[in-house]
Structure 1
Amino acid sequence: MTDIASVSIARPLADVADELGRSFSEYGFAIIRDHGIPADLIARAEEMSKQFFALPDEVKRNYHIPGGGGARGYTPFGTEKAKDARVHDLKEFWHVGRSLPDGHTLSEFMQPNIWPEEIPGFRETFEELYAAFEQAGDRVLRAIAIHLGLAEDFFVPTVADGNSVMRLLRYPPLEGAEAEGAIRAAAHGDINTITLLLGAEEAGLELLTKQGEWLPVNPPPGALAVNIGDMLDRLTNSRLVSTTHRVVNPRGEAAYRARYSMPFFLHFRPDYVIETLDSCDDGKAPPPISSHEFLLQRLREINLA
């Protein structure tokens, strides 16, 4: 039995901040309920995601941007691999990023979005979901700030116009004896600030505990699995930990069907300098680095840049 926190962020944040902080310190993960993302929006987005991935391969590949680092549009099956992994992950995905107005000072860091013409309402649905993820992420970051003894709104300017990315993911079913227990996403840590994941109720997500054991993460339907990314780990000098995690094929019948999920990778602004917080500095903190430079460094490691 684990004690990964499962909290409602509809409650006063001061009441849940330390429970969240304890869970993020020990496991790097927490379960978030009552996050405010409408259930009908989630259902619509999930259906459109399945519609897109059901398109013929040649149609999907029309939305692949060579040399784009996978930042926008479609990334085909067998492209991304975890840091230090020998083989590519068993997944395909679509990325939706921030839409910036013409002439925005951060435009050089963020590509324009592209949208599939074959699915009516796709853009409107996922722009709405992107905004809803941001609002939920703001609540989580406010709770984290309270736990760290910072002003509740400390993170607001650090993520304003941040390079956040929403990923629509499909892990295809596998065939034969290798299906059960196969690795859909190899062990890895997330690059970003925090990740908010829809779809983790489908078995397969596991985190690596400090004791070296793989622990299943099974939120109830509609809840979010939220984890700390490497950027926030660095900012807090590992007081909040970016835990290694993976996605394996489940056992039994579920191993032979596709798995879909939608993670939202919430990022700092590209020009935000990640410098260890004074309250977390033990004299051995890593040197400051801009979030953009940190992102590029990590994208190269996972074969996306």
Structure 2
Amino acid sequence: MVLITNFSIPIKQLAKMIAPMSHGDLPAFPEGLPLAPIARISHNKLLQNDPAEAEKVLEACRTHGFFYLDLTDTDDGQTLLGESEDLLELAYRAFDCPVEEKRNYALVKGVSLFGYKENGTVKLTDPEKRPDTTEFFNVSKDHMHGITESRTYPSAITDNRDLFKQFTRNAHETCMLVLTTLAKQLNLAPEAFANKNLFSEPSGDHCRLTHKFAHHSDKSAIGLPSHTDFGSITMLFNWLGGLQIQSHDPAKNKEWEYVKPVPGHAIINLGDAMVTFTNGLLKSGKHRVIPAPGEQVNVDRYSIVYFVRPHDSVLMEPLPEFTNLAAHLKVAGKFEPEGGKTLTAGEWMRQRSIQLGS
């Protein structure tokens, strides 16, 4: 990678100097690989309350827990796509500096998820104990919008606060559209899930800039080990392969399948909070990031993610409508609250963040 020390270079010019990250410039995603059969959902049809499209969302969230969201068919969707591209270009600048400098913004495990995570982390629950090859900056929605007092971030982030504010608000609204659609499909009040993820309340919501190093030599290294997200809903923009989810087809015996990046589409998945709120009716799909397939393995992988987490005061328990479901699933991750205590979302997130490793 080219080391850029002149930060006065325009972001778009800088991006071209560092890596060819547009779909047209990347090596092609190889043919013939096992692809996850996840649905493609139209943003426009969801906004129009299309019944068939709403049913597809519910089916996706009861099976794989993942689907593609086509953002090309609305103005708001096109805005989100543009913001994700701007954040991609910003990510090149944020990561292209010595690791010693990035460590000045390190997150504190078990205290806060916000800040910088270095590559080389070993997840505590990973049986193979493989160091990951992904670094990221978690940028708090609350910090960007002044909801809570901000920690320090690199200038590449703080100088672009308006972009983060616009992206987090637009991404949050789009995710709430999905949660409202699910609520209606489950015969709940439309705001049943959205009210547990209020934008204006302190929460773990954040935008993540990620960078996974190219696997030039160790092709068996892991980008991120298998996990489920522990928030409510996640929106991912990525331009390179490597994401896999575990198959729900019994005949495939939990085989890993690729989620191929599709231009103009975000990848949406549910997190464990939605499993908790519905007592196991909805699913948070297990996924991982491995070396990109084919010639893509030689390209650094960047992605932009928005995580919606329940606001901190929400109790992590099923909605009354789902309390008596027979198919209850344990979704507290690898910990159990002491004495059967019902945790708030803030407490729950801190417990889950400890599992990120060291």
Q: TM-score, normalised by structure 2?
A: 0.75
Task: Please say if residues 7 and 20 of structure 1, whose CA atoms lie closer than 8 Å, have aligned partners that are also in contact.
Answer: yes
> SS of 2:113's equivalent?
coil
- Per the TM alignment, residue 270 of structure 1 is displaced from its structure 2 partner at its CA by 1.0
Query: Is the aligned partner of 1:26 residue 2:68?
Result: no
Change in CA separation of 1:117 and 1:19 when aligned onto 2, cut-off 3 Å: same
Change in CA separation of 1:69 and 1:13 when aligned onto 2, cut-off 3 Å: farther
Going by fraction, where is strand more abundant, 1 or 2? Answer: 1
Tell me the residue number matched to 1:49.
91
Aligned-partner Cα distance in 2 for 1:233–1:119? 33
> SS of 2:295's equivalent?
helix
Aligned-partner Cα distance in 2 for 1:113–1:14? 42
- Per the TM alignment, residue 205 of structure 1 is displaced from its structure 2 partner at its CA by 0.8
Tell me the residue number matched to 2:348.
294
Query: Is the aligned partner of 1:264 residue 2:301?
Result: no
Task: Please say if residues 83 and 188 of structure 1, whose CA atoms lie closer than 8 Å, have aligned partners that are also in contact.
Answer: no
Aligned-partner Cα distance in 1 for 2:126–2:316? 24
Which residue identity lines up with residue 294 of structure 1 in the other structure? W
Give 1:6-155 correspondences, 5 Å limit: 6-11=40-45, 12-15=48-51, 16-34=53-71, 36=77, 38=79, 39-66=81-108, 69=111, 71-79=113-121, 81=123, 83-85=125-127, 86-99=129-142, 107=148, 112-117=150-155, 121-155=159-193
Aligned-partner Cα distance in 1 for 2:154–2:314? 32
Change in CA separation of 1:69 and 1:50 when aligned onto 2, cut-off 3 Å: farther
CA shift digits 1:127-178 (9 cap, x unpaired): 22111211111111111111221122222321112321211100011222x2
- Per the TM alignment, residue 2 of structure 1 is displaced from its structure 2 partner at its CA by 5.5
> SS of 2:133's equivalent?
coil
Change in CA separation of 1:68 and 1:47 when aligned onto 2, cut-off 3 Å: farther
Which residue identity lines up with residue 209 of structure 2 in the other structure? L
- Per the TM alignment, residue 56 of structure 1 is displaced from its structure 2 partner at its CA by 2.2
- Aligned equivalent of 1:242, options 284, 290, 300: 284
Tell me the residue number matched to 1:158.
196
Task: Please say if residues 247 and 256 of structure 2, whose CA atoms lie closer than 8 Å, have aligned partners that are also in contact.
Answer: yes
Aligned-partner Cα distance in 2 for 1:66–1:149? 41
5+ residue gaps, structure 2, are 1-34, 331-339
Task: Please say if residues 209 and 303 of structure 2, whose CA atoms lie closer than 8 Å, have aligned partners that are also in contact.
Answer: yes
Task: Please say if residues 3 and 23 of structure 1, whose CA atoms lie closer than 8 Å, have aligned partners that are also in contact.
Answer: no
- Per the TM alignment, residue 67 of structure 1 is displaced from its structure 2 partner at its CA by 5.4
> SS of 2:77's equivalent?
coil
- Per the TM alignment, residue 30 of structure 1 is displaced from its structure 2 partner at its CA by 0.9
Worse-matched range after superposition: 289-298 or 88-97: 289-298
Task: Please say if residues 131 and 222 of structure 2, whose CA atoms lie closer than 8 Å, have aligned partners that are also in contact.
Answer: no
Worse-matched range after superposition: 75-84 or 38-47: 75-84
> SS of 1:36's equivalent?
helix
Which is higher, the Rg of structure 1 or of structure 2? 2
CA shift digits 1:62-121 (9 cap, x unpaired): 2224457452221212236263341332110001112269997xx5xxx62433225784
> SS of 1:10's equivalent?
helix
Task: Please say if residues 192 and 266 of structure 1, whose CA atoms lie closer than 8 Å, have aligned partners that are also in contact.
Answer: yes
Task: Please say if residues 198 and 225 of structure 1, whose CA atoms lie closer than 8 Å, have aligned partners that are also in contact.
Answer: yes
Aligned-partner Cα distance in 1 for 2:144–2:292? 43
Query: Cα RMSD between the aligned structures?
Result: 2.6
Change in CA separation of 1:45 and 1:150 when aligned onto 2, cut-off 3 Å: same
Which residue identity lines up with residue 67 of structure 2 in the other structure? A
Tell me the residue number matched to 2:227.
188
Which residue identity lines up with residue 44 of structure 2 in the other structure? A
> SS of 2:142's equivalent?
coil
Aligned-partner Cα distance in 2 for 1:231–1:128? 25
Aligned-partner Cα distance in 1 for 2:101–2:84? 25
Change in CA separation of 1:89 and 1:4 when aligned onto 2, cut-off 3 Å: same
